Every structure is written in structure tokens, then in C-alpha cells.
Amino acid sequence: MLKVILGDFMDRKHLAEFALKHLDYTLLDPEADEKQITEFLEKASKWKPAAVCVLPAEVFRAKETLDSQIIVASAAGCFPNPNGDISQRIEDIKTAVEGGADEIDLVMDFEAMMDLRPGDARATLEQLIDECDGLTVKVILESSCLDLEEIEDAARIAIECGADFLKSSTGRRGGCTPLVAEILAEIAQEHGEVGIKISGGIRTLEDLQNHLDSMENAIQVTSIGPNRFRIGASSLLNSIEKILEN
């Protein structure tokens, strides 16, 4: 059991350190003002999470501001929309790529999956991933909108299209449940090097541990590192810093 292996995660400090090492610290509010963006980048500079995740327009600034060891991911392709004008989605990805993004987070057309049009979802996703210039791609399934069979189908389509990570949610339509985390872990384990990003509603260390406990039978999360496991969150860092500052 994960709790046994880590001695209830050895304590809250070790859980906080683990979370920080795997955190995609996130600011995806298009209405964020200069003060909010500056504070976000200052906090990222101080704590050095695995990555930050920003909108394409903020990629260049993040790359220029942050330590080179911090990965800059961008939620691109007209996030958080799953569809829309493909040319606009491609231009949004190009903005992120040209800004120097290291990774791209893309929303899969989950509405097509819900409408039993997996071929449409596949075709669009293939086209978008082709525009990512070989960068690491995390495909967002928006699991809160799908039933379990649709989640599994969407995950496998994403992998076949070239996804490097399966990401649960945008956080805009519901969050990632422990059950979804377990399903994604099982599918990722079937495909070797595919990573997992759990995101949406993970605000506290207790939330995180619940998800990790659900994943433990499928994959040994503590051994795969941030190259294959990430936690997408904006407020989780508040819980982390309260513990690590004491």
C-alpha cells in the first residue's frame, strides 16, 4: 500500500516535497492582470515546481523570467474549448511554440466522444498534435464529461495519436476523481512510457493522497518521476508552502 510504503507519506512534509517535485503550477485565467501574473511567476521562481502551465500569450514571459530548470507548459489550442475553428486552434498552438513552450496541453474533442464520433475526435487531435513541433503533448480528456467507457476510449485514442501524457481535466467542467486517476494509471501502465497528469479539484495534500492511494495498484507513482507523473493545480501550492515554510 502506498501509505505503508511511505509511512503515511513519511509525514506531511515529505508529501509536500513530493507534490512540489511533480507540480504543474497553473495560471490559465485569460482575465489575469499584470499583478496576478507577476505574483504567479514570483511564486514559481521561489518554489521551483516541476513546471508552470500558462496560456500561449504568457509563454515567452515565463521562459524569460523563470529558471531554465522549470518546464514551461502551455494550455494551447484555444483552451478550454474542445473544438471550434481548427485554424484558430492551430494558430494558438503556434503562438505557444514560437514563445518557447516546452510542453503543450491540448483539450481533446470530448463532445465528439460523447456524440459517438470518435473518428472526428481522432482526426482533429492528430492535426493539432502535428502542429506541436515535436514537443511533449498532454491530451486533456475532460473526464468529468465522459462515462468510464468513454474515458477509456478517449485515452487510447489520445495515445494512438501521439499523446505523451493523459491529462484528466481542464478543471472548468468538473475535476479529476480518484477513480479516474486509477483508470488513467491502468491505461498508462499498459502503454509503457505514457505519462499521467491528474488535474481539476486537487487543492489540498489530502486530495492528492486520496488520488495516489487509488493509483497505487496500477502504477508505482513514487518511482516514475515528473517525466511521467504530474499534478495540475493552482491552489495546491498554498498547502505545500504552508508546510515547507514551517
Q: Which of 92, 102, 138, 197 is catalytic?
A: 197
Helix, coil or strand: residue 55: coil
Look at phi and psi of residue 122 and say left if phi exceeds 0, alpha if psi is from -120 to 50, else beta: alpha
On the CB side of 232, CA atoms within 13 Å amount to: 31
Q: Which of 24, 92, 102, 105 is catalytic?
A: 105
The packing angle between helices 148-161 and 178-190, to 10°, is 40
Neighbours of 69 (CB within 10 A): 7
Closest to 32 measured CA to CA, from 7, 12, 53, 8? 53
Helix, coil or strand: residue 136: strand
Q: Which of 24, 164, 167, 207 is catalytic?
A: 167
Rounded Cα–Cα distance for residues 148 and 205 (Å): 26
Known catalytic membership, residue 105:
yes
Residue found under cell 468513454: 150
Q: Got the DSSP string for 205-220?
A: HHHHHHHHHHHTTT--
Helix, coil or strand: residue 245: coil
Known catalytic membership, residue 197:
yes
Query: Residue 204: in which H helix or E strand, if any?
Result: none
Query: Residue 45: in which H helix or E strand, if any?
Result: helix 34-47
Residues assigned a catalytic role = 105, 167, 197
